[in-house]
């Protein structure tokens, strides 16, 4: 079985050494390169063609977001996980719009890092739990009431059904298709069909991009 090729990109040598040590313990991973600025990350990505890139948001020479855009434009199948100490939700939305498959805060536990890399390689999109929670919590403060029920805001330009919005809320919480199906008492295939329709309507490449866009547009709120 082919190993999952991983490129590490961070301007802190100790952090890269730490990630390398953690990931090397998983026999299914192969570290194919280590980059210490955004330009190196792009060049090594084009040369090595990794399956997954762990890319720091705050990089010298070329910042992480710009490097992300260049990499995604060149390598259509690469999965990029953004790493940051910054929990500003606008950076999360920008990264997802630019093609990132995940957005992780650097205070991860070692086993979480390994799990997230596997998830992204399988085609899932991931956001660190507290980051997804922060975004949903912020949106809830904009609602008139603050109960735990989910309320959906319909606008004149709204093109999503209530069920599609419900699924996107769960996506922002980091749930997998199977977990969403269990939460909503529907089949996993139904969840996949809804997600496919959502991405077609919004013209987005993946589920987390779609959820982030809908949240930014004010279509998803948590209230009573």
Q: Is 187 exposed, middle or buried (0-12, 13-18, 19+ CB in 10 A)?
A: exposed
pTM (predicted TM-score): 0.63
Residue 74 has pLDDT above 60, yes or no: yes
Which residue matches tokens 């922002």? 172
Same CATH topology for 4-127 and 132-222: the answer is no
Q: What is the pLDDT of residues 91-118, one digit of tens each?
A: 888 888 899 998 888 888 888 899 889 9
Residue 157 has pLDDT above 70, yes or no: no
| Angstrom distance (rounded) from CA 4 to CA 49 | 11
CATH 3.30.70.100 fits domain 4-127: no
Residue 122 has pLDDT above 90, yes or no: no
| Angstrom distance (rounded) from CA 8 to CA 30 | 11
Radius of gyration of the chain (CA): 18
User: Domain locations in the chain?
Assistant: 4-127, 132-222
Smallest CA-to-CA distance from 125 within 79, 194, 74, 89 is with 79
* Confidence at 131, pLDDT banded by 50, 70, 90: low
Q: What is the mean pLDDT of the chain?
A: 82
| Per-residue pLDDT at 126 | 82
CATH classification code of 132-222? 1.10.10.10
């Amino acid at each position: 079985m082919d190993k999952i090729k991983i490129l590490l990109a961070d301007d802190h040598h100790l952090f890269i050494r730490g990630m390398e040590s953690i990931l090397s313990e998983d026999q299914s991973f192969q570290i194919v390169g280590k980059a210490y600025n955004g330009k190196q990350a792009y060049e090594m990505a084009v040369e090595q063609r990794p399956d997954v890139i762990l890319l720091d948001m705050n990089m010298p020479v070329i910042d992480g977001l710009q490097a992300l855009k260049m990499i995604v434009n060149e390598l259509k199948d690469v999965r990029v996980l953004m790493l940051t100490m910054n929990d500003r939700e606008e950076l999360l939305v920008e990264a997802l719009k630019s093609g990132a498959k995940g957005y992780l805060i650097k205070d991860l536990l070692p086993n979480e890092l390994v799990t997230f890399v596997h998830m992204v390689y399988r085609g899932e999109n991931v956001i660190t739990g507290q980051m997804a929670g922060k975004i949903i919590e912020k949106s809830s403060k904009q609602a008139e009431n603050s109960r735990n029920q989910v309320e959906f805001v319909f606008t004149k330009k709204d093109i999503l059904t209530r069920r599609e919005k419900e699924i996107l809320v769960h996506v922002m919480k980091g749930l997998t298709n199977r977990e969403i199906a269990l939460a909503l008492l529907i089949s996993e295939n139904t969840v996949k069909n809804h997600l496919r329709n959502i991405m077609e309507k919004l013209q987005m490449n993946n589920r987390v991009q779609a959820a982030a866009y809908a949240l930014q547009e004010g279509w998803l709120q948590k209230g009573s």
